[in-house]
Amino acid sequence: MNTVFRPFAGRWSRLISCTTHRLPPAVPGRTRMPQEALATGLLRTSPTLHSRQYSSMNPNDFIATSLIDSVTFVAVCSDTLESLVDYFEQIIDETSTLKNPDVTYGDGVLTVSFGEPHGTYVINRQLPNRQIWLSSPTSGPKRYDFIPDKRTVNEGYWLYRHDGVTLHELLQREISAIVGRELEFFALPHSQRPQEPASDGREG
C-alpha cells in the first residue's frame, strides 16, 4: 500500500507548494503587509491620499479693489467714518431717552452703543479688500463696497451688493427708529447715489 500511494503523495505535495502564495523576503526598513490582508483584499488606499482641499472665497470681498485704488479708499473711508463719528455724537447728545450711550473711534473702528435694549453698532474699515464692514444689532453683518461717481473717483457711495441698500440708507432707517425721529444721514459725505440726469422731454 505504501508503494502504491507514494507517487500520489508526492504529486499532491508539489501541487500544494506551487499554488501557495509566497511573499518576497522582507527588506530592512520596509514594512511587509500580512499575507491575510493581501489574500482577502483588505488593503485599501487611504481616502486622504486622494482628498483635495478647497478654499471658499466670497467674490464680493474683492470687487472694490478694481473700482478704486488704496489711496483713494483710505481718503473716502476716513471722510465717511469721521463724519459718522461727529453725527453719532450729535445724535446721542440730542437724545435724552438713551441709557448709557457711548461713541468710540480709533484705528478705523467706530463703535456706537445705544444702550439697552438697542445694542451696539460697529463700523470698521477693511483695507485689504477696500470695504467698510458693519455689524448691526438689528440687521446683522454687512460689507459695503465704495461705488465711485463716474465724474470723479473721490465721490460716490457705499453699497451692500446683496440687497442693493447703501450704508447711509440703512443707518437712516435703523437709527431713526431707535431715537424716534427722522435723521439726516444723507447730508453726510459719500451718502447719496448719483442723481440721474433729468430728461428734457425729447424723444430720440
Q: Above 50 in pLDDT, residue 165?
A: yes
Q: Can you tell me the distance from the alpha carbon of 89 to that of 123, in angstroms, rounded to the nearest whole number?
A: 14
The pLDDT value recorded for residue 14 is 46
pTM: 0.66
The pLDDT value recorded for residue 91 is 98
Query: Is residue 77 within 8 Å of residue 132, measured between CB atoms?
Result: yes
Which stretch, 60-64, 103-107, 147-151, 200-204, has highest mean pLDDT? 103-107
Per-domain boundaries in the chain: 59-187
| Interval 95-104: pLDDT, tens | 999 999 999 9
- As a dihedral over the C-alpha atoms of residue 12, residue 18, residue 20, residue 26, rounded to 10 degrees, the angle is 140
The pLDDT value recorded for residue 201 is 52
Q: What value does the mean pLDDT take over residues 139-148?
A: 97
Q: What value does the mean pLDDT take over residues 26-32?
A: 49
Q: Is domain 59-187 classified as CATH 3.30.920.10?
A: yes
Q: What value does the mean pLDDT take over residues 77-105?
A: 97
Query: Is residue 183 within 8 Å of residue 175, measured between CB atoms?
Result: yes
pLDDT tier for residue 15 given thresholds of 50, 70 and 90: very low
**Mean pLDDT across the chain:** 77
The pLDDT value recorded for residue 202 is 53
